[in-house]
Structure 1
Amino acid sequence: MITLGELLRSLPSARVLGPTATPIADIAYHSKAVRSGGLFVAVRGLQHDGHTFVAEAIARGAVAVVVERPVEVSVGVTQVIVSDSRVALASLSCAFFGEPSRAFSLIGITGTNGKGTTAYLLDAVLARAGRRTGVVGTLGVKVGTQTTPLDRTTPEAPDLQRILRRMADHQLDNVLMEVASHALALHRVDGCRFRGAVFTNLTQDHLDFHKTLEAYRDAKRTLFEMVDPDGNAAINADDPSASLMAAASRAPVVTYGITSRADVRAEGLRLHLDGSEFTAVTPRGRLPVRLRLHGRFNVYNALAAIAAVDAQQIPLELIGQALAEFAGVPGRFEAVLEGQPFAVIVDYAHTPDGLENVLQAARGFSTGRTLVVFGCGGDRDRTKRPVMGKIAAQLGDVAIVTSDNPRSEQPTAIIEEILTGIRDPGSEIRDQPSQARGLRPQARIEVEPDRRKAISRAIELARPGDVVLIAGKGHEPYQEIKGVKHPFDDREVAREVLRQLRRGQGSGVGGQGSEQGSW
């Protein structure tokens, strides 16, 4: 078992009060997770200060505590005083778990949208080349064919290093990790050895945390400062922040794009009902690519994967085969199929840019109308709510505004902020629910706070050739309300409604009947 003194080699400037020969059994940042012989790191969070829980941590068995200011401790408990507990937490976690990221090639993927799909495209390409791979991100932790869920995109440092240790013990060759801006700003990935990094794009999100788009961008940029000089960085040259990301990179940069003269670029792009086709022009030659994924945004994700493995000398034909075989990611433009004569698509789009991208993709293969069901998450960036409302009204033929994960907020208050983006006091839409009065008539707007009823309503309104897009939650199997995660999966709800309509029963929750009946 590692001793406190051995761990403290990672914190040379710390002030230590107490014995250091004590064996350390575990490391924790939450007092309730402390076990006998553990080290507790008091972290100042957004809502709680870990320093107020030091006594509880000691009562639960902590033999040492890391703090930013002196606190009262029991006799025999070592106190380690540091300038920044979060930085210390990352360093200690890396040391405790034996710096596992050095055992494999770790590629970090950052950006507002596309991180998850890009990670899984890379996973498919590397696996096709015979590599043993793992993924850490929004969909959970994937090792081989086994996936376990996570409660956040990038875990806190001890949880992340524990995961990476398990991956190292499985003797993986490559790990693909979604790196959220929160994780970078809060030092969760400090100490990780990145052999590669990918920048997908940067648009509005998380301003509740970062406050400004510049701070959000700067958080993303720090990933490229962490990449090994002998690694590589794949950067979307079509994004306005590309030059800033490239300037921060210590590693050689490979650019990708559609509209720019990037190192890896798409030529002859064709978007169609079955996906897309293009020729990828790369430093190693030309690669015909056929994707089963819809939308221009997924072309960018595929180009990112090609650019990220450019230095690994994987044969281009293997890359092409992997991309052609890739069926998609759960909850990302995922079709719900029950034999209906219209499309039902579930997507994780929860940002303005994400919603615009999937709506454009939906309109691209719809032969009828595009109906969108969406909301915005509570306790998150409020400034994007009216923007998303405006996008839905401009690109949808029918927009049903509903709840997402309201968390501690009132769903109706969130909906009202969404509606401000499409409200014009001088106009009025007729024959719509009273909550939607005064909205511009680009789209037919309805308000239904109950997400299940909103999904049912959209499906019942659908006609042959239409596309119903259910946006915001994607793969999530819950809806978070007042601190409780209630079981709720957009895909399963849609499937249930479709089956009821197929039986000619109606959903029983839409309340206004179907426009197309059973099929």
Structure 2
Amino acid sequence: MQASKLINSLKFKKVIPNRFEDFSVSLLTQDTREVVDNSIFVAVKGAKVDGHTLVDTAVQKGASMIIAQEKLSSIEVPVVYVRDTKRAMAILSSYFYATASEALRMIGVTGTNGKTTVTHIIEAIFRAHGEKTGLIGTMYRKIGDEILATKNTTPDIITLQRTLNKMVERGVSTVSMEVSSIALVQGRVWGIDFDVAVFTNLTRDHLDYHKTMANYAHAKSLLFSQLGNSYTHNGDTKVAVLNIDDPIGRQFEHDTAAQVLTYGIKQDAMVRASNIVIHSQGTDFDLQLFERKWHLKVKMVGLFNVYNILAALAAAYASGLDPEEIIRTLESFPGVRGRLQLITSPTRIAAIVDYSHTPDSLLNALETINDFAKGRVFCVVGCGGDRDHGKRPKMAAIALAHSDYPIFTSDNPRSEDPQKIIADMLTGLPEGEKVPTFLKRRKAIEFAVNHALPGDIILIAGKGHEDYQIIGEHKYHFDDVEEAQRALKMKEQES
């Protein structure tokens, strides 16, 4: 695409010099590490780095045009000045990557918990339907069977548009995508044409960023208020899929112009589960979809997974798939890595690895395990550094109240002192209550395994699918599943 044509997508701008030698744009980027000849570099003011300070580097590496919002001096290439480079970046990337989302069925999922599981179930449903699928989320980006690394739950807008463009080129038809609250506030999904938007729930998280629950809820609402203000687009109907057991889900009904499909267990939802039976091998329940009823036996354990299943089913149904076909996939779906992932051993001690990093998700995991546990329940849990301090005592109190043997340790301490994080957790305990604490997560897991007896269950909470630990500025390999398997193996050999 020619530079002159691309920047014409920006209606309000100032180009200096007004006349310049046109060129074919090779790349649009905000990252100087990506810059090649004939790139356009967008200078974005980030939380840690201001892209305006990197313009000289971008030009030296071959950038032929700069998009800026602050005055630059002595720049040898044309500069396009705009009021907001983040907004300009969203508009430019949409045009540069051929408005790829409009060629795809886009299903966005937002909420505190369940996003990863719901997007994976949706992907499985459409794959079983015979479609080539894409997935974007916490664990990775996925195009068909190809897995690409990701830095954030929701990538920056250029990476996102670039990924969607590749999906179109490779024949993907449906994309299930996690949409984080921070991404919504930062405009990382501006210009993405979602067809279905799903809300899972809202509980405490990310208050280090949003400051208040009201701000957090408003951030989530943006996905639904931006879902379109007309009832057809290219022949498709926009749909908001809302959990109305959560009062925020009922609130979002008033925040969207889209048609609404509700799901839940307690309320009179359009998609509803009842007569729920949870056991160690899965969950059984009755499903009602308007006037039709089925009895399901799924391999996923827990009440919160019933909500996840209802959310995915509703999204697929809203997209036009047959309920019978959807249900067949649901009953065969094995679950998601790091989400209540069971690790068995000849010792008859079971470990469960789960991405329980919020008070609500930890409570859900422990309540689920207590429903089928025959022996004692151990809980190895920590809290992340440089994040919401307020949830630390809450998670500690939940671990104490809902497990027989809580053990506190590190998660990703980042730049914080791990001992200080654990000390914050201990403030959530009654005076005089003692809990084993370990700065090294490996030692905490070993301690739990060494003290467990046949029939006991060990929940290792907080990291789930993550295969690393961030300590200071460094990222080290660390996998809870591997550590649990290693500790159980050692115990087996000793016995």
Which TM class, normalised by the smaller chain length? over 0.9
> Gaps (5+ residues) in structure 2?
232-236
Shift of 1:334: 0.4
Answering whether residue 166 of structure 2 is matched by residue 135 of structure 1, we say: no
Shift of 1:453: 0.5
How do residues 459-478 of structure 1 correspond to structure 2 at under 5 angstroms? Answer: 459-478=449-468
Answering whether residue 404 of structure 2 is matched by residue 397 of structure 1, we say: yes
Answering whether residue 284 of structure 2 is matched by residue 277 of structure 1, we say: yes
1:375 to 350, 359, 382: 382
Answering whether residue 473 of structure 2 is matched by residue 494 of structure 1, we say: no
Shift of 1:365: 1.2
Q: 1:20 to 1:459 in 2, by over 3 A?
A: farther
The residue aligned with 1:485 is 475
Cα shift readout 1:253-294 (whole Å, capped 9, x = no counterpart): 000000000110102111122111111111262122211111
Amino acid at match of 1:116: T
SS at match of 1:53: helix
2:245/2:266 contact within 8 Å kept: yes
The residue aligned with 1:263 is 270
Decide which moves more: 241-250 or 364-373: 241-250
Shift of 1:38: 1.0
The residue aligned with 1:422 is 429
Amino acid at match of 1:49: D
How do residues 96-495 of structure 1 correspond to structure 2 at under 5 angstroms? Answer: 96-228=96-228, 229=231, 230-283=237-290, 285-424=292-431, 428=432, 439=433, 445-495=435-485
SS at match of 1:87: helix
Separation in 2 of the partners of 1:210 and 1:191? 23
Separation in 2 of the partners of 1:340 and 1:46? 49
Separation in 2 of the partners of 1:5 and 1:395? 62
Taking structure 2 as the reference length, the TM-score comes to 0.95
Shift of 1:151: 1.7
The residue aligned with 1:72 is 73
Separation in 2 of the partners of 1:140 and 1:247? 33
Cα shift readout 1:280-329 (whole Å, capped 9, x = no counterpart): 11126212221111110000000101111223332222111101100000
Amino acid at match of 2:137: G
1:193/1:226 contact within 8 Å kept: no
How do residues 54-65 of structure 1 correspond to structure 2 at under 5 angstroms? Answer: 54-65=55-66
SS at match of 2:120: helix
Separation in 2 of the partners of 1:386 and 1:133? 41
Q: 1:20 to 1:245 in 2, by over 3 A?
A: farther
SS at match of 1:260: coil
The residue aligned with 1:33 is 34
Q: 1:261 to 1:448 in 2, by over 3 A?
A: same
Q: 1:45 to 1:105 in 2, by over 3 A?
A: same
Answering whether residue 27 of structure 2 is matched by residue 11 of structure 1, we say: no
Separation in 2 of the partners of 1:405 and 1:357? 21
Shift of 1:423: 4.4
Shift of 1:476: 0.7
Decide which moves more: 410-419 or 51-60: 51-60
Separation in 2 of the partners of 1:138 and 1:20? 42
Q: 1:320 to 1:298 in 2, by over 3 A?
A: same
Q: 1:85 to 1:284 in 2, by over 3 A?
A: farther
Shift of 1:407: 0.9
Amino acid at match of 2:57: E
Shift of 1:236: 0.3
Percentage of identical aligned residues:
40
Shift of 1:391: 1.0
Cα shift readout 1:13-68 (whole Å, capped 9, x = no counterpart): 12222327232211111223322211111111112211111222222221111111
1:119/1:178 contact within 8 Å kept: yes
Separation in 2 of the partners of 1:278 and 1:411? 42
> Gaps (5+ residues) in structure 1?
429-438, 505-517
1:288/1:320 contact within 8 Å kept: no
Taking structure 1 as the reference length, the TM-score comes to 0.91
2:137/2:178 contact within 8 Å kept: yes
Residues paired across the two proteins, number: 486
SS at match of 1:189: coil
Separation in 2 of the partners of 1:97 and 1:415? 46
1:67/1:82 contact within 8 Å kept: yes
How do residues 74-89 of structure 1 correspond to structure 2 at under 5 angstroms? Answer: 74-75=75-76, 77-89=77-89
2:196/2:319 contact within 8 Å kept: no
Decide which moves more: 232-241 or 14-23: 14-23
Cα RMSD for the two superposed structures:
1.4
2:105/2:174 contact within 8 Å kept: yes
Cα shift readout 1:353-407 (whole Å, capped 9, x = no counterpart): 1111101111111111111111111111122111111111111111111110111
